[in-house]
Structure 1
Amino acid sequence: MARDVKIEQLWIPESLEAADAADFLAAVEVGRKVRMQTWGSDDLAYGPLEKLLEFQDPYERQLILVAKVDGAIVGTVDIALPLTDHLDIAEFTLDILPEYQRQGVGRRLLEAAEHFARGEGRTMILVDTNHPGASLHEFEPEQLVPGSGQGFVPLESREVEFARKMGYTLQHIEQFSSCALPLDTRLVADLQAEAEEANHGRYRLHHWTDRCPERWLEAVAALENQAGADVDPDLDVPVEQEMVFDGGILREAEEVAIAQGRRTVVTAVEHLATGTLAGLTTITVLAHRADVVFQDDTIVLQEHRGNKLGLLIKVANMERLTEQFPDARVIYTWNAPENRYLLTVNKQLGFHTAGVTGIWQKELPRLHSSTS
């Protein structure tokens, strides 16, 4: 057990140059070092300014608890409380410096975060564990499978052992993949030809960045709503109560992303016979790190599947990304292991499995009004 561990809420400064920003910068550095330990790079780490902008998100209340030993920050837990839906949920991201792991710091931080969440009326806690591809092979004989869907996490890993000891249950797995950019020009030509042959000129592509054209606004909202409702009946995956999108909500979300300095590159596909949008795909470029980008939703309506539209729009969007953001050198994405169609498309594009993320949950007892 690390001696003299002090848990406190992190002060969020007005700016990175402020006199009181030192602890904030130290906390962000903890997250960077943990990701270096896990993935061998800091591609997935927040930069200080990116992290500061996160606190302006109107859809989530965010705060950070830190663990200090001898006045130095050695661990952090980010707490995100959704404000528009999932009002019973709190999401935690726990980071402990490598040299302070297995010393009780994580347990102290997680217990403090759970106590805070319960006081806010949140009863369902979500945390994740991250496992690079090499560790999956190393521990392959000992696997822990999730409550729903496919995939596994290595049973003997430190993170899995800790989550189970703290009373968390593995709910599902997300496969984590990366692809080098730009795509090879011959590969692009081959994939575009394959996709176009499959859809016989029945579709047309549309592109935009940051803001959806007015003519497609309600169609994009309908696509997002359809994606939320479109759960494979063969999978034992709980359907969550999602926010219902409309044009106004999409415009608000666009303004939030722009205010945070994020860029959004979108390719949509129109079914020419009906003039409706059949699908879309989105890539996010962070405000202060243009070399690392993230593949977000790819949606194709059920009735238009089988025409290689997912391949068509993803190739086109990745090409568009490279034109607009030539510094982008790698794109990351997360997919459910059972989403074989998109995983196949990603493999064609050159994505390689980097690892998996395990999503864990724990239900907290509700606080009664009579308790002090």
Structure 2
Amino acid sequence: MAETVGMTLEEAKTVEVEQAWVPDNLDSPDAKDFLDAVEVARRVRMQTWGSDDLAYTPLEKMLEFSDPYERQIILVAKVDGKIVGTIDIALPLADNIDLAEFTLDVLPEYQRRGVGRHLLEAAEQLARAEGRTMVLVDTNHPATSLTEIPEDQLIPGTGPGFVPVSSREVDFAQRAGYTLQHIEQFSSCVLPLDSKLVADLQAEAEEANAGRYALHHWTDRCPERLLEGVAELENAAGEVVHGEDEADEPAGADTGMVFDAAVLRETEDAAMAQGRRTVVTAVEHVATGKLVGLTTISVLAHRQDVVFQDDTLVLQEHRGNKLGLLIKVANMERLSEQFPDARVIYTWNAPENRYLLTVNKQLGFTTAGVTGLWQKELPRRSAGATTSD
């Protein structure tokens, strides 16, 4: 989110919000608005992080619209016919169907002119019309913006961490009625890992587990013989607090999804349909033959130099054996073997997840900043209400 509330009447009249058309291909004459919207998001990420590593390419963004588990809509704000801001609206379809997730971007030179306020109000109205009652939106803060001054630290309702009170984004979110719920620590690691570091960490992990565990690897599709075990692992992990879990979702989010072999195959098919690759390492407890841990890395279809750490989980009763370290080192090594162009891996963690933050530090991850997760409850639509409410 990048904007502040506050505009003059004259400024308000210059902002027009409309839904962006998603083209069938990027060469079509009607693709211009879509391409301009993607460029707005790229420029905002350049402003925030100093690079466009976290920005979608136009092809990657277009593929997002084929996700069967999530409906996506882009609203754009135009000033004098030029797209100067966007808000992506994600509406989950399989679970959390009361939820809408927004990503708001406004070009730096058009901030503080009411563009963000127009976009956010339009997105909230659309979410209400879709029957959504809860909105999540994030704010992003590079490490250089985080201070040790207590008066400049806004602490969330749950968990540790903070966002800077002096941030323009924080001011905007608060004035728009959003409440800070949680903090995610954002980190990056240069690839490939140093070979001596890998050897040392593998030796440390193997000494701790003393041959009681065995690793399994796959890319994209889980072997049939392990499918039920992965489903059981995912469901068991969902029943407890993930002391060894990292994900690019809000920590503690309860998806309500129950995994079985069919659901896992559907998620694999959906990822592959979008051109994404998934590198997986699982760990088996040899004595029982059960899978007790898992870690995954996602590789985008059209940009394989930047990759993302997804879930890492280890069942409660098998913690203390450095299995998180074991599977993460192994998976990052496999990633570099299969995708040698990968130069950096990004991950988000809850600040209270001290175990994985320690593992990540051992691997060479450094903190790039934090993401604040904000929430707002929308009033329910009354009977007979129309989309023009």
User: TM-score of the superposition, structure 1-length normalised?
Assistant: 0.97
Residue 207 (1) aligns with residue 208 (2) = no
- Residue in 2 aligned with 1:168? 178
- Residue in 2 aligned with 1:95? 105
Question: Match for 2:320 among 306, 320, 329?
Answer: 306
- Residue in 2 aligned with 1:326? 340
Per-residue Cα deviation, 1:67-118 (whole angstroms, up to 9, x for no partner): 0001110000000000011011000000000000111000000000000000
Q: 2-side partners of 1:49 and 1:264: how far apart?
A: 18
2:38 and 2:61 in contact (8 A); partners too = yes
Structure 2 gaps, min length 5: 1-6, 244-250
- Residue in 2 aligned with 1:68? 78
- Residue in 2 aligned with 1:290? 304
Give, in angstroms, the shift of residue 226 of structure 1.
Answer: 2.1
Q: 2-side partners of 1:270 and 1:80: how far apart?
A: 36
2:242 and 2:313 in contact (8 A); partners too = no
Amino acid in the other structure paired with 1:242: G
Residue 8 (1) aligns with residue 13 (2) = no
**Structure 2 counterparts to residues 211-250 of structure 1, below 5 A:** 211-231=221-241, 240-250=254-264
Give, in angstroms, the shift of residue 231 of structure 1.
Answer: 1.6
Q: 1-side partners of 2:238 and 2:112: how far apart?
A: 39
Per-residue Cα deviation, 1:298-342 (whole angstroms, up to 9, x for no partner): 010111100000000000000000000000000000000001100
1:140 and 1:154 in contact (8 A); partners too = no
Paired residue secondary structure (1:250): helix
**Structure 2 counterparts to residues 64-143 of structure 1, below 5 A:** 64-137=74-147, 141-143=151-153
Structure 1 residue ranges (4+ consecutive) displaced by more than 4 angstroms after TM superposition? 138-141
Q: 2-side partners of 1:226 and 1:105: how far apart?
A: 45
Q: 2-side partners of 1:30 and 1:50: how far apart?
A: 15
Q: % of aligned pairs identical?
A: 76
- Give the 3 Å change call, closer, same or farther, for CA 47–139 of structure 1 in structure 2: farther
Amino acid in the other structure paired with 1:117: A
Give, in angstroms, the shift of residue 370 of structure 1.
Answer: 3.2
Question: Match for 1:49 among 41, 56, 59?
Answer: 59
Give, in angstroms, the shift of residue 252 of structure 1.
Answer: 0.4
Give, in angstroms, the shift of residue 137 of structure 1.
Answer: 2.6
1:139 and 1:154 in contact (8 A); partners too = no
- Residue in 1 aligned with 2:375? 361
Amino acid in the other structure paired with 2:121: E
- Give the 3 Å change call, closer, same or farther, for CA 136–72 of structure 1 in structure 2: same
Amino acid in the other structure paired with 2:235: N
- Give the 3 Å change call, closer, same or farther, for CA 263–139 of structure 1 in structure 2: farther
Q: 2-side partners of 1:93 and 1:323: how far apart?
A: 34
Q: 2-side partners of 1:316 and 1:240: how far apart?
A: 28
1:139 and 1:156 in contact (8 A); partners too = no
Paired residue secondary structure (1:21): helix
Per-residue Cα deviation, 1:277-298 (whole angstroms, up to 9, x for no partner): 1101000000000100000000
Give, in angstroms, the shift of residue 369 of structure 1.
Answer: 1.4
Q: CA RMSD in A?
A: 1.3
**Structure 2 counterparts to residues 179-190 of structure 1, below 5 A:** 179-190=189-200
- Give the 3 Å change call, closer, same or farther, for CA 138–104 of structure 1 in structure 2: farther
1:210 and 1:264 in contact (8 A); partners too = yes
- Give the 3 Å change call, closer, same or farther, for CA 288–96 of structure 1 in structure 2: same
- Give the 3 Å change call, closer, same or farther, for CA 78–319 of structure 1 in structure 2: same
- Give the 3 Å change call, closer, same or farther, for CA 87–191 of structure 1 in structure 2: same
Q: 1-side partners of 2:96 and 2:371: how far apart?
A: 21
